[in-house]
Amino acid sequence: MSTTFTRRPTRIVVDLDAIAGNLRAIGAHAGVPVMPIVKANAYGHGLVPVARHLQAHGATRFGVAFVEEAIALREAGVGLPILVLGGIFGPQVELFLRYGLEITVSSLSKLRQVEQLAEAMGRRAAIHLKIDTGMGRIGVQHANAGPFVEAAAGSRWCEVVGVYSHLACADDPASPMTALQLERFLEACAHFDRIGAPMPARHLANSGGILHFPQTHLDMVRPGILLYGVLPDAAARAAVAVRPALSLVSQVVYFKVVRAGSTVSYGATWTAPRDTRVITVPIGYGDGWPRALSSRGQVLVHGRRHPIAGRVCMDQFMVDIGDASAFNEDEVVLVGGQEGEAIRVEEVAVDAGTIPYEILVQLNERIPREYRVGAAPGPASD
């Protein structure tokens, strides 16, 4: 391929079929419509390529965090309903109507703002009411849901297409918080029945809810991280068979023998315990590869795990491969599989002292993304 020499040897490889397969698996497991969440650059996988592929393979809607993300989707030709999950700013309401986006209405005053603008533009707004059942982020307090539901259901310029809340502790199957939030949410929804208004789509479950709390599936589920084949927490139960979609791959850029007692990288925090072989990998925290992995993480070379040696630098880090052999340009796998061994994002997160979400979304645009479609490598038709 003529592009081989102009592309950075470090790359993210995204298996789009894995994401589409995960969407199907989640739908089959939950038994209700799915709103795939593609915020934060589709959790680092690439907003537009992921959404376009899912639009062509069974998605019926999307959820994003910000209106800017939704506009990027519209401009890329995504015509499906898109719910913006974040709170709205008054001056941006017009954008929602102009681009035909679904609005999260999280207070009575925001409802009035949307109504006013919708009337001024002569266009009805599609809204989802946000109820705060314990997350404490945005939304009307569950105890005050009555008047809010009444005002929204009676609005001439707003069509209530959904009502939702967000779970704070669903990653933990043992937390009593989720049952409490579900109870509060259902009580809030009951106000629609009480006033004889049609019940909009009720949605509550994030990935943790989908995996651990079937009662929270209700009328629709909102998977983010699970869609990408990653579990929300290292302790989560893999109740749905999903496949990781993202691999992070680089190549050896330097090889040397390090004598016992010599140090490696900034701060000289790592000392060779014996004569050993050390490779340099050209990716660092400037790409979003966490500095917290200094002398903690592992990578794969020729299907074997080797430890990161010393501090992760901005653009490079070193790996102690012991007496194994490696040559310049040999493949180094930071996330993903190689010759029967695999490193998962969940494991990288534990090593870095964070959650898998942060590992994924930190991988920035300095790393080129490559998209795979159509099963195993080999048939390269298009």
Ligand X SMILES: *Cc1c(COP(=O)(O)O)cnc(C)c1O
Which residues are known catalytic residues? 39, 266
Under 8 Å CB-to-CB from 353, ≥6 apart: which residues? 292
Closest to ligand X by CB, 44 vs 224, is 224
Closest to ligand X by CB, 39 vs 311, is 39
Q: Please give the DSSP secondary-structure letter assigned to residue 271.
A: E
Query: Smallest distance, Å, CB 106 to ligand X?
Result: 11
For 160, phi then psi, to 5°, come to: -80, 105
Query: Smallest distance, Å, CB 166 to ligand X?
Result: 4
Between the alpha carbon of residue 332 and those of residues 121, 298, 302, the distances in Å are 55, 10, 8
Distance between CA 17 and CA 349 in Å, rounded? 24
194 among the known binding-site residues? no
Residues 247 and 377: beta-carbon distance below 8 Å: no
**Kind of pairing, strands 254-258 and 276-281?**
antiparallel
The residue ranges that bind ligand X (CB under 6 A) are 37, 39, 85, 166, 206-208, 222-226, 232
The encoded tokens of residue 287 equal 């790409």
Which residue's structure tokens are 């990408």? 228
Query: Smallest distance, Å, CB 230 to ligand X?
Result: 9
CA angle 159, 134, 174 (to 5 degrees): 120
137 among the known binding-site residues? yes
Closest to ligand X by CB, 78 vs 84, is 84
Query: Smallest distance, Å, CB 178 to ligand X?
Result: 13
Closest to ligand X by CB, 132 vs 287, is 132
10 phi-psi bin (left φ>0, alpha ψ -120 to 50, beta other): beta
